[in-house]
């Protein structure tokens, strides 16, 4: 062999990849980058929407809490007003019961007086058999009896009026106001605040 050998020559038959494959790879890379950008944008919008929803939910929750607190306070005020009205009705009912008892006892006393007068008159008539005295006593007895009957009817009227002059609700107060026997002033009891003028008080 000679010192100088000829280098071996390789015959490369390079078959080149078509150009369109490179273009496809570039286009696919661009589409994937575009998809990645769109997904990143959608993710950031979803996060911001979630934050906005959380803020709105917190505000709504705070508003509901405030309304619930106001409702509970109003409920407590109404309960105290109802208790005051119930206590007033108990007092009114007690007054009505006492008035009825007094009228019954007064009617009982009147009846006792009538029977006492009748028996005393009869005993006096038995001792005095004079016709003039009997006529005079009959006149006195009938006068006393008519007076007692009028007193009895007055007591019964007073008793029935006591039952109608006690108002238990707003409509009955309006009815008594129309009758004009008394002055009525309506007012609301507030929990807070100073003295308040009601009518002439």
The pLDDT score that the predictor gives to residue 15 is: 62
pTM of model > 0.85: no
> Cα angle at 124 between 120 and 126, to 5 degrees?
115
173: its two tokens: 């107060």
Mean pLDDT of 41-45: 91
Q: What is the pLDDT of residues 51-96, one digit of tens each?
A: 998 898 898 888 888 998 999 898 888 888 888 887 887 767 777 7
Smallest CA-to-CA distance from 162 within 112, 104, 110 is with: 104
Inter-residue contact 138 to 124 (CB < 8 Å): no
Indicate if the pLDDT at residue 151 is higher than 60.
Answer: yes
Residue with tokens 């494959």: 21
Lowest mean pLDDT among 27-41, 51-65, 110-124, 171-185: 171-185
Hey, what long-range contacts does 189-193 have (CB within 8 A, 24 or more apart)? 189/81, 189/84, 191/77, 191/80
Smallest CA-to-CA distance from 77 within 199, 196, 153, 189 is with: 189
Alpha-carbon distance of 55 to 78, in angstroms, equals: 35
pLDDT band at 130 (very low <50, low <70, confident <90, very high): low
pLDDT band at 137 (very low <50, low <70, confident <90, very high): low
The pLDDT score that the predictor gives to residue 102 is: 82
């Amino acid at each position: 062999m000679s010192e100088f050998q000829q280098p071996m020559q390789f015959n490369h038959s390079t078959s080149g990849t078509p150009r369109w494959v490179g273009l496809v790879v570039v286009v696919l890379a661009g589409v994937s980058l575009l998809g990645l950008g769109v997904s990143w944008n959608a993710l950031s919008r979803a996060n911001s929407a979630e934050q906005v929803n959380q803020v709105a939910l917190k505000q709504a929750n705070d508003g509901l809490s405030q309304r619930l607190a106001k409702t509970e306070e109003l409920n407590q005020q109404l309960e105290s007003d109802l208790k005051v009205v119930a206590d007033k009705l108990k007092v009114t009912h007690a007054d009505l019961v006492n008035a009825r008892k007094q009228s019954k006892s007064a009617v009982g006393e009147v009846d006792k007086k009538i029977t006492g007068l009748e028996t005393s008159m009869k005993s006096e008539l038995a001792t005095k058999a004079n016709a003039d005295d009997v006529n005079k006593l009959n006149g006195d007895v009938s006068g006393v009896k008519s007076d007692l009957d009028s007193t009895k009817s007055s007591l019964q009227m007073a008793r029935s009026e006591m039952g109608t002059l006690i108002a238990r609700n707003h409509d009955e107060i309006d009815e008594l106001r129309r009758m004009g026997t008394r002055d009525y002033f309506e007012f609301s009891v507030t929990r807070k605040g100073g003295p308040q003028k009601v009518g002439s008080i």
